[in-house]
Structure formats: C-alpha cells, structure tokens
Amino acid sequence: MQPAFEAEFVAGLKEIFEERIVFNRLIGLRIDAVAAEGVSGHLPMRHELIGHYAHQRLHGGVISAGLDAMGGLAVMAAIGARHLDEPPAQRLQRFGKLGTIDLRIDYLRPAVGERFALHAEVLRLGSRVATTRMELRGAQDRLFATGAAAYIVS
Amino acid sequence: MQPAFEAEFVAGLKEIFEERIVFNRLIGLRIDAVAAEGVSGHLPMRHELIGHYAHQRLHGGVISAGLDAMGGLAVMAAIGARHLDEPPAQRLQRFGKLGTIDLRIDYLRPAVGERFALHAEVLRLGSRVATTRMELRGAQDRLFATGAAAYIVS
Amino acid sequence: MQPAFEAEFVAGLKEIFEERIVFNRLIGLRIDAVAAEGVSGHLPMRHELIGHYAHQRLHGGVISAGLDAMGGLAVMAAIGARHLDEPPAQRLQRFGKLGTIDLRIDYLRPAVGERFALHAEVLRLGSRVATTRMELRGAQDRLFATGAAAYIVS
Amino acid sequence: MQPAFEAEFVAGLKEIFEERIVFNRLIGLRIDAVAAEGVSGHLPMRHELIGHYAHQRLHGGVISAGLDAMGGLAVMAAIGARHLDEPPAQRLQRFGKLGTIDLRIDYLRPAVGERFALHAEVLRLGSRVATTRMELRGAQDRLFATGAAAYIVS
C-alpha cells in the first residue's frame, strides 16, 4: 500500500491533464482519483463526441484519447510514488519527459451512455519504459473498451 | 487498377467522414482522395489539438482518431469498389455496419507542424473483417505515426 | 456462474490444443483448466525455448505463441458454453472456424524460471468476433507478459 | 544509401539470430540479407510448425516469433550502421541490451505454402527505443501477415 499523495501534487496533475493538455479539455476529461496503484476519471457524453451518428455512440478517437491520457496519468502517479523525496513541483516537471510509444485499443461494445468511467494502472514502471493497462466502462460497470500502452518515462 | 468512383459516392463519403461523424469535424479532418487502393486526407493544426503544451505537439488522441477514421474510410472505399454494381446511395448505407474492432498506433516522433497528411490502405478485405495500415506525416513527408486496425465490415 | 463442461469436451479441447496443433506440442503447452470464465495452462522451461542466450530467458515467440493459443482456447470454452445444447463432438468442430485476427503482446519483464503459468479470458464473445485478454506469470505469481487478441469465430 | 556491412558483422548477426537464439533454430529461421535499410530472411515449412491441422497452415506463434526476430535483427542492423566506427565484435555486443517492449501481429490470410519470406525495417531508431514494421509473405509475394514492434535499445 502506497502513501497518499500531497494535495499539491494531485492538484498539479489535474491541472496538467484536465486543462493544460488542451485536447483533453476539448473532450471533457475529468480526473477523479490519483494513486500509485491506479487512476480513475470520467468523460461526460456530449454531442461533439459522437462517432457513429446512426448509433449515437462515443467516437473511437475519444476513447483512444481518453485511455491514452489515463495511461499517462497512471505513469505520472507511479513516478510520483517513486520520487516521494522530491517536492511536488519537481515531481510534476517529470511530465515534460513523458511520451507515448505505442497504444492498442480494443473496442468491445458500442459506447453508448451519458457518462463513461476510465481507469488505468501501471503493469510495470522501468527506468526508461512504463507499460499500462486501461479500461473504459459505462453504466452498470459495463466494459466498453480496453487498452494497453507503452510510455517513455525518462 | 480500379475504376474511379462516381462523384456522388465520393461526396457521400466526404459528408459522412467530415461532417456527420461529429468528432471528426471537431478535430478538423479533411478528405483529399478516395480510391480503392487507398485514401488520403489532412488535419490542419489548431490550438485545441495540442497534446503536450511544452512541445506544441499534436495530441496522440487526435492522431489515433484521425488514423482510425482514415482506416474506416479506406475500408468503405474498398467495399465501394467491391459493390460497384450497387447505386452509390446503397453502397454508402454499408457504413452503418462498419465498426472498429481494434487499433494500434505507433507514435514515432513528436507531431509538430501546421498541417498533417493522413493516408490509409486496406491490406485485406474479407467478408467479415478488414485490416488496414495507416500513416500520419508532416512537412517534407516526415513520418510521425503509423497505425494498424481491424474493422468488422458486414 | 457457468455449469462445468463434460469431461469429453474438455478432453477434446486438450487433444486439439496440446497434440493436434503440432507447434503447441513443440513448445510443450499444457492445459490445466477449462471454464467459460477463463482457461489456464502452463509451459515448462526447456533449453530449446530460450530466446536471449545471455539471460536464459524464454523467447518472446514462445510467449506470443502460448498466449495466442490460450486466447483461442478461452474463445472455444466460451463458444462451448454458448452451445451447451450441442453434443461435445459438434461443439469441438467449431474449432475449424476459429482464427486469430490480430494479437498484441506486452513483454513486461524477462521471463526467467522453470515453469510459466498462462491464463486467458474472453472480454467479449460476439457472433463473428471475440476479444480476449491473456497473461503469462512466473514464480510467486510474477507477471511477465500480457496480451490482447481478436479472433474470428463463425 | 548506407555503406555495406563487413562480412564479420553480418556473419555475427547470422550466428546470433540463427543459432544462438535457440528457439529461432527450432523454427528454422534463416537470414538472407542484412542492411541498415531493412533485413530479409525466410522460413521453410515443416510439419512441426503447423498451427491448424485442418488447414496445414503455419502456426500464428511461428509467425509472431519469426517477425519479432526479424524486427530485432533490423534494429541491430540500424544500430550497427550508427556505430560503424566501432569494431564489428563491439557492435555485436550491443545485442545484449536489445529487448522487445511490445509487438502487434495482424494475421491477414492463412499462411499456406512451402516457404515464407520475412522482411523488417526500422521506422525510427531513437537513443532508447526503436520501432519496426515487419511482413511475412508466401508464394507470388502474397502478403500473409504484418507486424509492428517496439524495442528497447540502450
């Protein structure tokens, strides 16, 4: 069990992922929980996010963007836990070196609903590469999509 | 060499992929060429599409959304070529059954620039599943990202 | 909770996956449990399966082959549970239509050890496509690799 | 255009990839050409490599193993070209640090035939991560499978 993060660190990550990554703001990504063991967030449905007009379902690109962002956030949380000795501001600067290497998304079911829950966890954090696993769920915890991604971290 | 499509079919695909898929309009996806052998389009850079504020680079989610859309368009073009005996409107209705099964994106280099070119081709069109290969390039034809995706087609 | 399968059905799947798929026999894949909720097996380490001689670790190709096979087995179990009204022999014939569409493997850590445990579960079984998630673990349940795959099923 | 490699360097890579990686020898992988721009090899069909007995087709695991190996070889060739100032033996030692991060394989068509050609090229060689694209073809250059992989290189 990892210790909880300082409010300053969590607020800093929220600002980065919700506001400063402009495209995340465009899709409306909201962060709900940040821990070394995993991170959670959600996406409210909006007309602009529709992919297939005939089915009113969430665009696959919104799903991949949201899951990629959550994977990156999970890596930042794991890095944060590894460097608890550093002040929060210094830990947040490590985001400048984070980059997605590659991403796979499996679209299991049409993502229809008013709100989508996102979750990500780090499977391995190395000194140079981190690997994550992500999920997007709808009402009744129904699994809509899963993802896997690799990130460069140093 | 495949015959060229009717203007009505190409205009119909452009309307679907540029306008009716609302999220594609949000990211500004434009279709430039539609042929059975492959499809091309582009994305103009905009502030809203920034991923990493420190580097002014295109968000990975925009890349995955754009490449997924182009892969789907390539499949629609290949389906259109297979069903040239059908009137254009009937061929366009086949879009209603198209769905992305899964997607992989490799982010090779930071996507920085004013305009990004997208290309997709179908590697195999089966009766139930199609597989595509996609690319995103910048100025001087520099390769920024590649993708592979599987689609359900019937 | 799904009902348990008949011994005949499980024995049939074991024969297919351990013996008749010749390459699975070459790598020494053994099936330990078959249920609609998931399947388990293992691989004993052998000199022939070494990938990186300097590190005595399991070859990535053995990992991908083993995880692909387990994903396919998980799909067969899920199909078997869906068609419990059919006699076992008839259900086993459905294997003839199974095919891997695509596969992703994440190699998290060097797979070193004497025995590797494999597990797979079906995330979604559709009428035409199934998606699975797989894991390879070593001693102390250490996670070495994860996988995701899509299969054509009808 | 890159200069050709010394015979010693090419022979060293062949020994590593054909002999010392024991599993590659088991599947019968043969290297045909090694250049900074790409590498080629082939696999002769054998009974032991059959995946689906009903169709006499090459096992997906052999395909993924072969394509992963070729991707790694392509990375070694690209690294070799970057460090031409080093003696061949020293360049070959860089293999000790090579590792596959992740892999995607698309199985386009049943791989049936007597001999399969493999090809791989590096899309990007960074200081820490390399990304490759691979293909497996049969008679008449028919494309059976494609792959993409990321490798850790330093």
* pLDDT category of residue D81 using cuts at 50, 70 and 90: very high
Mean model confidence pLDDT for chain D:
94
To the nearest 10 degrees (0 to 180), the angle between helices B60-82 and B7-14 is 150
User: Nearest chain A Cα to D154, which residue?
Assistant: A128
C63-85: per-residue pLDDT in tens? 999 999 999 999 999 999 999 99
Q: What domains are defined for chain B?
A: 7-152 (3.10.129.10)
What mean pLDDT do residues D132-146 have?
Answer: 97
The answer to whether B116 touches B42, Cβ cutoff 8 Å, is yes
**Residues A74/C139/C49/D137 CA torsion (nearest 10 deg):** -30
Q: Residue C65: which of C107, C18, C27, C116 has the closest Cα?
A: C27
Percentage with pLDDT > 90 across chain B: 86
* pLDDT category of residue C50 using cuts at 50, 70 and 90: confident
What mean pLDDT do residues B8-34 have?
Answer: 95
Provide DSSP, D90-151.
HHHHGGGG-EEEEEEEEE-S---SSEEEEEEEEEEE-SSEEEEEEEEE-GGG-EEEEEEEEE
To the nearest 10 degrees (0 to 180), the angle between helices A7-14 and A60-82 is 150
Query: If DSSP codes are grouped into helix, strand and coil, which group holds residue D55?
Result: coil
A54-87: per-residue pLDDT in tens? 778 999 999 999 999 999 999 999 999 999 999 9
Nearest to D101 among A104, A129, A154 (CB): A129
Q: What is the structure's pLDDT at B139?
A: 95
Terminal alpha carbon distance of chain D: 25
The answer to whether D51 touches D60, Cβ cutoff 8 Å, is yes
Give the residue carrying structure tokens 């395909």: D63
A23-38: per-residue pLDDT in tens? 999 999 999 999 999 9
Using the predicted structure, report yes or no on whether residue C53 has a pLDDT greater than 80.
Answer: no
Structure token digits, residue B97: 């059954």
Long-range CB contacts (< 8 A, 24+ apart) of B14-19? B16/B76, B16/B92, B16/B95, B17/B41, B17/B69, B17/B72, B17/B73
User: Nearest chain C Cα to A147, which residue?
Assistant: C148
C-alpha distances (whole Å) from C134 to each of A103, B24, C75, C103, D22 are 17, 33, 12, 10, 25
Nearest to C146 among A108, A109, A123 (CB): A123
The Cα angle at residue A131 between residues A134 and C59, in degrees rounded to 5: 120
* pLDDT category of residue C51 using cuts at 50, 70 and 90: confident
Mean model confidence pLDDT for chain C:
94
D101-111: per-residue pLDDT in tens? 999 999 999 99
The answer to whether D75 touches D98, Cβ cutoff 8 Å, is yes
What mean pLDDT do residues D67-85 have?
Answer: 96
At B35, which helix (H) or strand (E)?
strand B30-35
Pairwise pLDDT comparison (D50 vs C55), residue with the higher score: D50
The answer to whether B132 touches B124, Cβ cutoff 8 Å, is no
Q: What is the structure's pLDDT at D53?
A: 73
Task: Let me know how long chain B is.
Answer: 154
* Chains in contact with B, counting 3 or more C-beta pairs less than 8 Å apart as contact: A, C, D
Pairwise pLDDT comparison (D50 vs A103), residue with the higher score: A103
C87 touches chain D (CB under 8 A): no
DSSP state of B56: T
Nearest to A129 among D104, D131, D152 (CB): D152
Q: What is the structure's pLDDT at C1?
A: 56
Q: What is the structure's pLDDT at B2?
A: 66
Long-range CB contacts (< 8 A, 24+ apart) of C78-84? C78/C36, C78/C122, C78/C125, C78/C130, C79/C125, C79/C130, C79/C153, C80/C5, C80/C9, C80/C13, C80/C36, C81/C2, C81/C3, C81/C5, C81/C36, C82/C125, C84/C3
* B99 to A107: CB separation less than 8 angstroms, yes or no: yes
Structure token digits, residue C26: 């070459």
> Alpha-carbon distance B138 to A25, whole Å?
25
* B48 to A24: CB separation less than 8 angstroms, yes or no: no
* D109 to B131: CB separation less than 8 angstroms, yes or no: no
> Alpha-carbon distance D119 to D66, whole Å?
10
* pLDDT category of residue A154 using cuts at 50, 70 and 90: confident
Number of alpha helices (DSSP H) and beta strands (DSSP E) in chain D: 4, 8
* Chains in contact with A, counting 3 or more C-beta pairs less than 8 Å apart as contact: B, C, D
Q: What is the structure's pLDDT at B81?
A: 96
Query: pTM, whole model, 2 decimals?
Result: 0.95
Contacting residues for A122 by C-beta, under 8 A, at least 6 apart: A38, A74, A75, A77, A78, A130, A131, A132
Give the residue carrying structure tokens 């290189």: D153
Q: Tell me which residues of chain C, numbers 88 to 127, contact chain D at a CB-CB cutoff of 8 Å.
A: 96, 99-107, 110
Q: What is the structure's pLDDT at B1?
A: 57
* pLDDT category of residue C56 using cuts at 50, 70 and 90: confident
What mean pLDDT do residues D133-148 have?
Answer: 97
* pLDDT category of residue B55 using cuts at 50, 70 and 90: confident
Q: Tell me if ipTM is over 0.90.
A: yes
User: Nearest chain B Cα to C124, which residue?
Assistant: B101
Q: How far is D85 from chain C, CA to nearest CA, in Å?
A: 25
Give me the amino acid identity at C112. Answer: V
* pLDDT category of residue D41 using cuts at 50, 70 and 90: very high
At C1, which helix (H) or strand (E)?
none
Lowest mean pLDDT among A115-129, B9-23, B48-62, B108-122: B48-62
A150 touches chain D (CB under 8 A): yes
B67-123: per-residue pLDDT in tens? 999 999 999 999 999 999 999 999 999 988 999 999 999 999 999 999 999 999 999
Using the predicted structure, report yes or no on whether residue A2 has a pLDDT greater than 70.
Answer: no
> Alpha-carbon distance A1 to A100, whole Å?
27
The answer to whether B141 touches C141, Cβ cutoff 8 Å, is no
Q: How far is B2 from chain A, CA to nearest CA, in Å?
A: 28
